[in-house]
Amino acid sequence: MLIGVAAAILIVMMLALIRAFIGPTLYDRILAVNMFGTKTVLLIAVLGFLTARPDFLDIALAYALINFISIIGVLRFFEYNRPNFTDGNHD
Amino acid sequence: MRHSISLSLLLAVFWLLNSGYYTPLLLFLGAVSVALVMFISHRMDMVDHESQPLHLTLRIPGYWLWLLKAIILANVDVVYRIWRGNSSISPTRFVLKASQRTDIVKVIYANSITLTPGTVAIDLEGDTITVHALTRKAVEELKSGVMERRVNLLEL
Amino acid sequence: MEIMIDLLLNIGSGILLILGGFFCVSGGVGLLRFPDFYTRMHAAGVTDTLGAGLILVGLMLQSTHLIVLLKLILVLLFALLTGPAASHALAKAAMHGNLKPLLYRDKSTR
């Protein structure tokens, strides 16, 4: 059961990576990376149970916080310094 | 004062939960950390009724239960539309009135809108919330004010 | 008696884990399938709320120590508290970046 869930999470992470690669806008990529991060937290938790080492949960907790802070940080950066390499339907 | 007590209790519980070791040295380090965080948050002037909404303590669990039900229903609807394809969605952006008196309940309302899949609060300015919804059905549901009435119960 | 409870917990946890996996995959498919950024955000919301919630509750039913259970609750709380904050910040940044949402009315008049 746990292996199946881990596989499902890996599939979702792959789908998120595809979205991060094809974009087309900057925000799509950030959204995909955010989703990749939250799924990583889940994967770490599931792997902790799979290998019977619940201490993995501490890493999951730390990763959840790092992911949130980094997404907010990246958004702050792009809200105030908009670089000219963004693509998609900006005007 | 009671906000400071509640924040330090919360931080202490957080430390004890995450550490799992209860030796004198580590408990001492925990106490130092709690004191340091308390000092910093007092300097940032953020220990008040908004970061520690104690007046909501009794009413919030009931609201969470109601919100859980709303989240599950919204999730099922969105998943159904994901598998049905793009012809089943009708994305809409609209402005919603937030009639709440206090800022914190307004923020709870906007966050609840974002937390239920299918609707995202894009902007909250004054007493209007800009919402993006996946379907017309979600728009009607928000405009019917079921969630608003439930949130307003927190304010009584 | 104890074996019965163990069995029930295992079955319950298995069902929750499978459901959670299904919701997560659905969200991932929606992320690829939906037509524009704002609609994709709703698909990401599915994996962040019910997908993560079901998997974590499923793990909770399998936990043997109290501290593991409490830490899983903490992870779930973090996911539910930071999720809306992140998606709101993302939507706001996109709107201030002049990213126009694809609206239903546009499609019918085109």
pLDDT at A43: 93
**Shortest CA gap B43–chain C (Å):** 24
Domain boundaries, chain A: 2-80
Domain boundaries, chain C: 2-109
pLDDT at B60: 87
Residue C88 vs residue C100, higher pLDDT: C88
Task: Report d(CA C80, CA B125) in Å as an integer.
Answer: 23
DSSP code for B124: E
Q: Who among B79, B91, B115 is closest to C39 (CB)?
A: B91
Range B130-142 average pLDDT:
87
Q: What is the pLDDT of residues C43-60, one digit of tens each?
A: 888 888 899 999 999 999
What residue has token string 């950030």? Answer: A30
If DSSP codes are grouped into helix, strand and coil, which group holds residue B123? strand
Weakly modelled stretches of chain A, pLDDT under 50: 89-91
Range C23-47 average pLDDT:
89
Sign of CA dihedral B38, B39, B44, B46: positive
How many CB atoms are located within 10 Å of the residue C94 CB? 26
Task: Report d(CA C65, CA C81) in Å as an integer.
Answer: 25
Task: Report d(CA B36, CA A61) in Å as an integer.
Answer: 21
Chains that touch C (3 or more CB pairs under 8 A): A, B
Q: What is the pLDDT of residues B14-65, one digit of tens each?
A: 898 888 788 899 999 999 999 999 999 989 888 887 777 887 888 888 889 9
What residue has token string 């009315």? Answer: C105
**Shortest CA gap B20–chain C (Å):** 8
Q: How many percent of chain B have pLDDT more than 70?
A: 100
Q: How many percent of chain C have pLDDT more than 70?
A: 95
Report residue C109's pLDDT band, with 50, 70 and 90 as the boundaries. very low
Nearest to C53 by CA among B116, B17, B59: B116
Range B121-136 average pLDDT:
87
Do A15 and C32 touch, CB atoms closer than 8 A?
A: yes
Q: Do B115 and C88 touch (CB under 8 A)?
A: no
What is the CATH T-level fold of the domain B57-155, as seen in this structure?
Ribosomal Protein S8; Chain: A, domain 1 (3.30.1370)
Range C12-32 average pLDDT:
91
pLDDT at residue B78 is higher than 50? yes
